[in-house]
Amino acid sequence: MSKTWREIYWMDPSGLRFETINMFTLRCTQKLLDRIRPVPELPAPPTTKLGDWYCNLLDVRPGPLVLCMSEHTFLCTLIPLDYFKRRPDVMADCVALLLQRHGIPSAAVEAERVEMGRFQYGKTASRRVLGCLNDALYIASAEFQTADRIVTIEDVLAKNIYTANKYKDPVTAARVVLGLVQ
């Protein structure tokens, strides 16, 4: 019996069976992993269209934030570290709000939220995405000096253009990945 990467074994009273699991990986920098101390798992390929999310720590006042960047689109969201530690499942809600704010249709937003139903922690795997994450971290820390809200910083990061993304802004790349634009 062959098993695809989207299928995971689960034990139930009737025996062994296959079940499809929606999953993505929060790929954290070592600095962030040291702060949150998650249970390590072997990352599986993502089922989400936006891919895995790369996360790094942004030390600012009044409290540290976690900057999360989509692997495929470089779209960024910011989450307070304490909230990220207590409820990491809030990631799906933050991404849904970010997509809605940038005009993504609610059907596509809800589909992505469902796909983000389960997550696991892993180490960073792509130096290309990690470089863009560090660039976004630098921009966010500079913007934090003048911005009054996290949403304002997310909007600035959504307009940032990366060469690794073929010179598309993250919102346009998200529209392409979600199948809204050719």
d(CA 182, CA 178): 10
Q: How would CATH label the architecture of 22-177?
A: 2-Layer Sandwich (3.30)
> Would you give the DSSP letter of residue 8?
E
**90-101 vs 150-158: helix axis angle to the nearest 10?**
60
Domain ranges of the chain: 22-177
Residue pLDDT tens, the chain, 182 long: 333 333 444 444 555 554 556 788 999 999 999 999 987 777 788 889 999 999 999 999 888 999 999 999 999 999 999 989 888 788 899 999 999 999 999 999 999 999 998 888 999 999 999 999 999 999 999 998 888 899 999 999 999 888 888 888 999 999 999 999 86
- Record the tokens describing residue 135, joined without a space: 């660039």
Which residues pair with residue 17 across a beta bridge?
A: 10
Considering the entire predicted model, what is its pTM? 0.85
What DSSP designation does 140 have?
A: H
